[in-house]
Structure formats: C-alpha cells, structure tokens
Structure 1
Amino acid sequence: MTIDSLIDFNYPVATPKANSLIRGSFGINVEHSSPLASLFTHKKVHDTADSDDVFQMIESWLGKCRSAGCGWGDGRHGKLPTRIIDVGPADGSKDPTLTVTDSNQSISSSIECTRYIALSYCWGSETGIPFTTTTSLNIEDRKRGIPMDELPRTFLDAVRITRRLGIRFLWIDSLCILQGHDDSAKAEWATESSKMTEVYGGAYLTIAAASASNVHQGILVRDDVTYQEIRLKLQSEEEPGINHEVFVGPKRSFRQSMDEPLYHRG
C-alpha cells in the first residue's frame, strides 16, 4: 500500500449570494530513511544538495537502473567523445585535465574508462561575465591542467559530482569543443555539433543544471530556501511509544520541477 503524498481538497462554503468552494492542496513528505518511506510517494527534499545522504540516494537510483537494464548509456558499448575532461582523483589533489581520446588508446581500450558524465546547462551569456572555455590559443594549457579556481560555479560543481560518483571523465561542451571564431574553431564546431546525440546518448549519466539560468549559479544549491514545512509526529498503534515524523508543506508537482531555466533556453 502507498499513500499519495500530494493532496487536493475542496471545502464547500455557503455565502449570502451563492455557494462556493475553497480549493487548496498540500504535500506530505517523509525522510528517505524513515520506516514510513515505503508508504508515501514523496520524500523530503534534503536541506543540502551535496550531503552524503544525497549522493547515497543518487547511487541507489543508478544501481536500480543498472539492475533493471534501463538501456541508458553505461559506457560499456560506446566510446569516449573526441575530447574529455579527466577530473582527477576524488581527493582533489590534482586539477582536471583535457584529454584527446583519439590519441590515447590506453584510455579507450578500458571498458570501465569509457564511462563519462555529460553536463547540460545554460551558458547565460546575457550576464556579460566571461567564463573558462577552450580555444585554439589555450588548448595545450588545458591539456596540462584546468585550475579549479578558474572554473565557473556550474563547472566546478559538475567536477565535484563526477568525482564523488567515482567517475573519471566529464564532458562539457565549452571545454571539450574549441570555441571562438577562427577557422579551426568553426570547422571543429561543424563536426562536433553533429555528434551531440551520440555524446549525450553515450553518457553514463547526464547532469542537468536545471535551475541555473547561467553558468555562474551552480548545481549543488537549493533554490527554494524559503520553502517551509510543518513537522508532525505520528504515534504507532502497533508499537506504543514509537513515534514517526512526517512533514507537511506546499504541494510541489513534477510540472514545477520542469519549469526551470534549462528547459526554456533557446
């Protein structure tokens, strides 16, 4: 048995002129670790997006996809894009580097190493704030290292997520495809842009920086810090003295989660 966590209600009200309805809605959520988690369709949103609990949840989702044979790109039947970012060790002891996969057969020959994460995000060029890209002039520097302190917030978070998930490679278009207006950049864009379907389709996972309208806003942030919930304690009739908690707050629907800047970009 499961309980629908999103509840709508209509309350009839009689007025001198006519009968009317007060319409409303609310949501009931429980912690992911709660004994009630299997009963409610919605779980509580974590207070911080980069907590260990969040990454354990992501790992469990990926595990379910692998077990169910979802058919998404797990990196075992494809190849790496032309260029890829090697994010370096999880402890951050080494800066990311740009790797040209066509010239490094030792990478592409390993099944595990063909797993990579792709990033989908809004550039947000209207901010007028420049951000790190790869050009014909700096590509050799990128191969030697990409300083973390030069990365905009969204790229920085993507590197951290990739490391925490134990994946070695990350694909970001503006770093892996030459940018600029010179002939080399134009020719490369004409070639690489035609491979976008294969790049995203072959990714082990795609990170969607959905709520960020530009590259400086990041991924590991909560955009609803004013979201308030009421904590209620429920006592078990079968287990006297045992209390469980549920959280009641504004109804949040899938439609709301789709109404984000990433899904309205041109």
Structure 2
Amino acid sequence: MIKNWLATCEEEHKKCVPNEGPFNVDLSFFRCIDVEDMYITPVPITSQYVALSYKWGDCTPFLLLKPNKDDLFAKDGLRRNWDSIPRTIRDTIDFVRGMGCRYVWIDQLCLIQDDDGDRGTGINAMDLVYEQAYFTIIAGSGTDADSGLPGVREGTRSSARQVTSEVLPGVNLVLRHTMEDIVAKSEYHHRGWT
C-alpha cells in the first residue's frame, strides 16, 4: 500500500523534487545508514533517503560515538551491534529495506553524539535534513526508541476498535478522528521538532 502511495506521489507531484542546493549550511556531517550493507556512510544530502522522527524517551539508546565510529562505519557494523539497537530503529531499518530504499537518516546513529561540533552542525541543519528526505517515518505511537513501529513485525499492530453508535434502527454513526487529533494525543506530540 505504501509503495502505491509513493508511486502516486512521484507521478502526481513531479514538482515536489528535493532542493538541489546550494545550501547555506555545512553539510559535512551528513551521513545515512546503508540498509543493504548495514553500515553508516557519508552521502550527499541530495541522495534519496528516508528520515525517522521518533521520541528517544527513557530507554537506553545505542549511539554513534567516537569510540564505536570505526566499527559502525565498516560494512555490517550495524549487524554486529543489532541486539543493542532500540526496536524502533531496527524496525525502521527493516521497513526501509522492505520499501526498496537504500538509505535512512536516524539522529542517534547519523550524528556523532559525543562530538559537539558534529552534533551541533546536524542540529542546526535539522530542517534541511527532514525537508530533503524522500519521506519521513513518524513513530507516533511510541513512548521511546524501544517501542517499535506497529505493523513492521508480525503481531505488533493492534486492531483499533472503530467507535460507532446506532442513532436509528439500522443506522450507525461513525466517529472519525483527524490526523491532528491522533497526533495531539500521542507521546510524539511532545517532541522538540518535526
């Protein structure tokens, strides 16, 4: 279904192409996760990539740091550390691969978290990171980075009960919520950006 949405978007919205630049910010920090070779690699911000927007929460994060940078920048570096990576990030990587996309940007793993310069430069360009993304995954139902993405793994999507009320015999009224209503009631609503 999502692949069909993206195909429709590409066909119907040809004018919605990423900005080719020049950009007025330092982009030397920009790197993505290569979901095929499972490592973090520098890519041009004009590459086709997916972004993740989620709430870190209280779970133990797995971060790109100076001491693990060489391992995570090497082929299969993420595969070697797979069990340490929070569920939402693992689900995102699996989902992006399933969508046939190669790159995903996730702040915990694409900004060097113990390098104030790298992290600061990335934070200052956050609007551009999300603007340039092919699409953004919003982990709206999660309370932290270990909540996962409902529907990526078997048995993780709860079937929401549709609220109906019989107003006349045989005539039911259905309560419909807007996306704004749903997001406003989520933990995601309390994020800093996106």
TM over 0.5: yes
Shorter-chain TM-score category?
0.7 to 0.9
Q: Percent identity?
A: 31
| Larger-gyration structure (1/2) | 1
Amino acid in the other structure paired with 1:252: R
Structure 1 unmatched runs, 5+: 1-56, 89-93, 102-107, 231-247
Which aligned segments of 4 or more residues in structure 1 are displaced greater than 3 angstroms?
A: 70-74, 76-81, 221-226
2:126 match: secondary structure: helix
Deviations 1:22-80 (A, max 9, x none): xxxxxxxxxxxxxxxxxxxxxxxxxxxxxxxxxxx111111121122165455x84699
Once residues 70 and 95 of structure 2 are traced to their aligned partners in structure 1, the CA distance between those partners, rounded to angstroms, is 25
Contact 1:210 1:262 in 2 (8 A): yes
Given the alignment of the two structures, is residue 146 of structure 1 paired with residue 78 of structure 2, yes or no? Answer: yes
1:68 has 2:12 as partner: yes
Write out aligned runs for 1:157-172 (5 A). 157-172=91-106
The question of 1:262 aligning with 2:188 is answered yes
CA distance 1:250–1:133, shift in 2 (3 Å): farther
Alpha-carbon contact 2:63-2:108 (below 8 Å) kept = yes
Q: How well do the aligned residues superpose, as a CA RMSD in angstroms?
A: 2.7
Question: Are 2:97 and 1:97 aligned?
Answer: no
Specify the code of the residue in structure 2 equivalent to 1:167: C
* 2:131 equivalent to 1:204: no
Counterpart of 2:34 in structure 1 is: 86
Matching residue of 1:253: 177
Point out which structure has higher relative CO (alpha carbons under 8 A, 6+ apart).
Answer: 2
What CA distance in whole angstroms lies between the structure 1 residues aligned with 2:53 and 2:174? 29
AA aligned opposite 2:176: R
Aligned positions, number: 169
- TM-score (norm: length of structure 1): 0.56
TM-score by length of 2: 0.75
Q: Return 5+ residue gaps in structure 2 as ranges.
A: 165-171
Question: What's the secondary structure of 2:52's corresponding residue?
Answer: strand
Q: Distance in 1 between matches of 2:33 and 2:162?
A: 39
Q: Partners in 1 of 2:173 and 2:105 — Cα distance?
A: 37
Partner secondary structure for residue 62 of structure 2 = coil
Q: CA deviation at 1:87?
A: 0.5
Q: Distance in 2 between matches of 1:257 and 1:70?
A: 29
What secondary structure, in the 3-state scheme, does the structure 2 residue paired with 1:67 have? Answer: helix
